[in-house]
Amino acid sequence: MGQSEKTFVALVGLGTVGTGAARLLLDHGDRTARHAGRILWLNHIVVRDLKKSRNVDLPAGILTDDLDRLLADRKVTIVAQLMGGIEPARTIMLQLLESGKDVVTANKALLAEHGPELFDRARELGRTISFEASVAGGIPIIANISQCLSANGITSIRGILNGTSNYILSDMDQNGTKYQDAVAAAQRLGYAEADPAMDVDGTDAAQKLSILAHLAFGSAVRWDQIPRRGIDSLQLADFRYASNLGYRIKLIADGETRENRLQLSVAPMLIRKGTPLAEVRENYNAISVVGDAVGRVFFHGQGAGQMPTASAVVADMIDIATGRAAITFRNLKLWSGTASPLPVSELDTLPVRYYLRFSVPDRVGVLAAIAGVLGEEGISIASVYQHDDDRNSEGNIPLIILTHESEPQKIQSALRRIRDLPAGYQTVEHLKILD
Amino acid sequence: MGQSEKTFVALVGLGTVGTGAARLLLDHGDRTARHAGRILWLNHIVVRDLKKSRNVDLPAGILTDDLDRLLADRKVTIVAQLMGGIEPARTIMLQLLESGKDVVTANKALLAEHGPELFDRARELGRTISFEASVAGGIPIIANISQCLSANGITSIRGILNGTSNYILSDMDQNGTKYQDAVAAAQRLGYAEADPAMDVDGTDAAQKLSILAHLAFGSAVRWDQIPRRGIDSLQLADFRYASNLGYRIKLIADGETRENRLQLSVAPMLIRKGTPLAEVRENYNAISVVGDAVGRVFFHGQGAGQMPTASAVVADMIDIATGRAAITFRNLKLWSGTASPLPVSELDTLPVRYYLRFSVPDRVGVLAAIAGVLGEEGISIASVYQHDDDRNSEGNIPLIILTHESEPQKIQSALRRIRDLPAGYQTVEHLKILD
């Protein structure tokens, strides 16, 4: 196998990531050849609209709007399928597999929705699907979990997996920017879509977490069964109170095993300043993985964007060309139903510290009443802060309570009882704390 | 290939890391089988002293002091060679390769000294050497650079690669512990050897940097040609002054390319607090890699210790058993002389900011004289601090100057000229600054 031999490859889709992948393949053939042991020769790029102007110089004849031309080209063995959305991406991926091509994808929504079908079909056909770019863009978390940390039982995965929401949270936290203004800024910078719903409501992070949880824990949890809360209902005041207490608020995708059960969630949480996840700024991603042999390993990098994602796509193409990817894909038996996954907790049961904010009248007895309910539920108070200078229009003041580790059900029960007290104290916010 | 098939493996050496690897192989066979697609069956452990008590339960007949028994056992195809030092480790590694076995090693000193010989021999014999555990223990930096980031041209590698010295520096920085006491504490905790010279003088970090530089930049620089300074001459006062200015002092192994030249160094440097490398505590390692596509990716984890290192060793054994490692080893052509490496700068030439500390008499004209020389050398001063309360027994006070980016040769020249002034001002310390 010499470096003058060619493996013919193709792209479907020439949007942001496709353009980046085309540049790497066309402008850095020496580099890919060195790592693949052979030249990756870009033979077709299939697009919907041939007329659209492109930000990359392409050799003549490479661009086509005819998918069948690619499907019929038996020389091409590796295709990066870089369309977003579910359809026609799903159908095209099946067609590519059926025409004998290994497929690289960055489409986490497609994998989270149709992973079992696609992976089963690939296995039946003896083909490989590689998907490093589908989670955390430039951070090679898929390879690290499924290969580099293979001697470990993974006990925890905790990450900031959505760069858009992290950009918004960082802007709110550091600059006191209002939510809507931070969203608009993220849109101006190209970090957020015109409709940022999937980013800010936790959907995107939950889809990525479902993929990581499958790799790390063998659990085939659908993303829409992961309890999740987005960042769209957070108020600026809580960033300020949290900061004064030494915390930042981050959207955390969390997978934890304890006592042979797995618990998954996506939610904004307080994280102590100075710890690695708390210091992830702007649109970066980060992931902290705990293995029972290796301990905690932390990864930080660009979670999206043209070239970081293209870096992952082309690394996957190289891995397929060398034969490594086929080995990994065969051994891992992803979504094959043969793994014996950990049971997944239906309920949020792991004890954790909480940040609670109530809006209460500034009078004697309020704290005693609230503390009384918490005490009756067995919830131990770590500290209490009252902000007399933050009086709202009704004259209510914020009362903030940090608890010791408490079971989530007890917190829920206590908050209901506090709401139902004769005075009806309102819980404005409650967030988990990671120390 | 089913999971009931066996690959027979062996260990040479049953010290700290060997014991950890034995535990993973013996206690977690299900896990290795799942990732390898076959059982890794531990057939021999070769030790020097059969009588020594061991911290692991071993099946009968597995322990031997007869290397020939292993060499003659043709069933065994993968051996983790976990002896330290150069000889007999080198000879035994050659014997293992010649008897048809692929070899896993954690011995960076051996690779840094004899990499070319060992890799050439392995290639001649069609064998594979895997060495993830040789750099940064639990951080899978070898696989990440040589495989996951394969679509990138790497432009920078900057890391904390020696956990012992990082423990000592953290203790000095955070607790004001004196150097000798911090060394003693590291020894009590098992982080430092009885003779910690290789850790504190920069040798260990330079050996690891030479391996990473080879993977990342294709440069075959011998570790002893990397300019290096250790941490043994640092004074506590500089940690205090640096901290007041917003910096920590860390031992940084640095590989940078600019204008198609590569510059390598190991030295203590000032790093701005809050940046990822500055916040690496205790005996942790961390590495920041910049790729021209992926941008900056940061890795943090345990750089040594029994189970983190064993995690890397067993992951390598799994990679060999699957066939992935052979592909990577063949394609990378390590130390083969066929790569066209970047030219390595003989001189330290990249402009950088500097921290300079002088010990000067507290009188008029001193600053003017020093600033005058710096100005004549074209070195621009960013800020000046004088600590009148830190007078030494001779009545001298510390004068600290932070420069703007300056060429190292100009700094050297200026410091010589300042020493040679009629008043002979002494430069107590000069360190590079990473912002």
B32 contacts in A (CB within 8 Å)? 150-151
DSSP string of B339-407, one letter each residue: S-PPPBPSS--S-BEEEEEEEEESSTTHHHHHHHHHHHTTPPEEEEEE-TT---TTSEEEEEEEESSB-
Phi-psi group of B43: left, alpha or beta (phi > 0 → left; psi -120 to 50 → alpha; rest → beta): alpha
- The yes-or-no verdict on residue B388 having pLDDT over 90 is no
- We find that the CATH architecture of domain A353-434 is 2-Layer Sandwich (3.30)
Q: What pLDDT score was predicted for residue A1? A: 44
Per the CB < 8 A criterion, the answer to whether A171 and A185 are in contact is yes
Taking the CA of residue A31 and the nearest CA in chain B, the distance in Å comes to 7
Separation of CA B404 from chain center: 28
Please name which of B320, B321, B306, B319 lies closest in space to residue B24, comparing C-alpha atoms: B306
Confidence of residue B337 (pLDDT cuts 50, 70, 90): low
Taking the CA of residue B224 and the nearest CA in chain A, the distance in Å comes to 28
Q: Which fold has domain A6-137+309-332?
A: Rossmann fold (3.40.50)
- The yes-or-no verdict on residue B342 having pLDDT over 80 is no
Confidence of residue B3 (pLDDT cuts 50, 70, 90): low
- The yes-or-no verdict on residue A425 having pLDDT over 90 is no
Q: Which residue has the higher pLDDT, A292 or A386?
A: A292
Answer whether A310 sits within 8 Å of B140, measured CB to CB: no
Model pTM score: 0.94
Q: What is the 3-state secondary structure (H, E, C) of B48-88?
A: CCCCCCCCCCCCCCCEECCHHHHHHCCCEEEEEECCCCCCC
Which B-chain residues 62-91 have CB contacts (< 8 A) with chain A? Answer: none
Q: What pLDDT score was predicted for residue B1? A: 44
Give me the mean pLDDT over the A278-282 stretch. 93
Per the CB < 8 A criterion, the answer to whether A37 and A68 are in contact is no
Neighbours of B251 (CB within 10 A): 27
**Which token pair is A363?**
């009078």
pLDDT in tens, B391-424: 888 889 999 999 999 999 999 999 999 999 988 8
CB of A311 less than 8 A from some CB of B: yes
3-state secondary structure of B272: strand
Rounded-to-integer distance, Cα A369 and Cα A367, Å: 5
A138 contacts in B (CB within 8 Å)? 293-295, 297
Q: What pLDDT score was predicted for residue B338? A: 55
Query: Percent of chain A scored above 70 by pLDDT?
Result: 97
Q: What pLDDT score was predicted for residue B129? A: 98
Question: Which helix (H) or strand (E) segment is B247 a member of?
Answer: strand B247-258
pLDDT in tens, A238-275: 999 999 999 999 999 999 998 788 999 999 999 999 88
Give me the mean pLDDT over the B27-54 stretch. 93
- Counting one residue from chain A and one from chain B, the pairs whose CB atoms sit within 8 A come to 195
pLDDT in tens, A406-420: 999 999 999 999 999
**Separation in Å, CA B113 to CA A66, B135, B221, B335:** 56, 14, 11, 12
pLDDT in tens, B256-291: 998 788 999 999 999 999 889 999 999 999 999 999
Q: What pLDDT score was predicted for residue B391? A: 85
- The yes-or-no verdict on residue B25 having pLDDT over 90 is yes
CB of A328 less than 8 A from some CB of B: yes
C-alpha R_g of chain B: 24
Place of tokens 């064998």: B127
Q: Which residue has the higher pLDDT, A346 or A202?
A: A202
Burial class from Cβ neighbours inside 10 Å (0-12, 13-18, 19+) for residue A293 reads: buried
Omega prior to B88 cis, within 30 of 0: yes
Confidence of residue B192 (pLDDT cuts 50, 70, 90): confident
A279 contacts in B (CB within 8 Å)? 274, 276, 279
A95 residue type, one letter = Q
Taking the CA of residue A250 and the nearest CA in chain B, the distance in Å comes to 17
Residues of A taking part in catalysis: 208
| Per-domain residue ranges of chain A | 6-137+309-332, 141-302, 353-434
A336-340, B12-16, B58-62, range with the lowest pLDDT: A336-340
Rounded-to-integer distance, Cα B27 and Cα B15, Å: 18
> Which of B146, B295, B323 lies nearest to residue A302, judging by beta carbons?
B295
Answer whether B151 sits within 8 Å of A311, measured CB to CB: yes
A90 residue type, one letter = R
Q: What pLDDT score was predicted for residue A336? A: 73
A348 residue type, one letter = D
Answer whether A143 sits within 8 Å of B148, measured CB to CB: yes
Per the CB < 8 A criterion, the answer to whether B92 and B64 are in contact is no
pLDDT in tens, B230-256: 999 999 999 999 999 999 999 999 999
- We find that the CATH architecture of domain B6-135+309-332 is 3-Layer(aba) Sandwich (3.40)
ipTM of the complex: 0.94
> Which of A1, A31, A293 lies nearest to residue B311, judging by beta carbons?
A293
- The yes-or-no verdict on residue B349 having pLDDT over 90 is no
Identify the CATH assignment for B141-302 out of 1.20.1440.230, 3.90.550.10, 3.40.30.10, 3.30.360.10. Answer: 3.30.360.10
Respond yes or no: is residue B178 known to be catalytic.
Answer: no
Identical fold for domains B141-302 and B353-434, yes or no, is no
pLDDT in tens, A11-26: 999 999 999 999 999 9
Q: What pLDDT score was predicted for residue A429? A: 95
Per the CB < 8 A criterion, the answer to whether B329 and A323 are in contact is no
CB of B281 less than 8 A from some CB of A: no
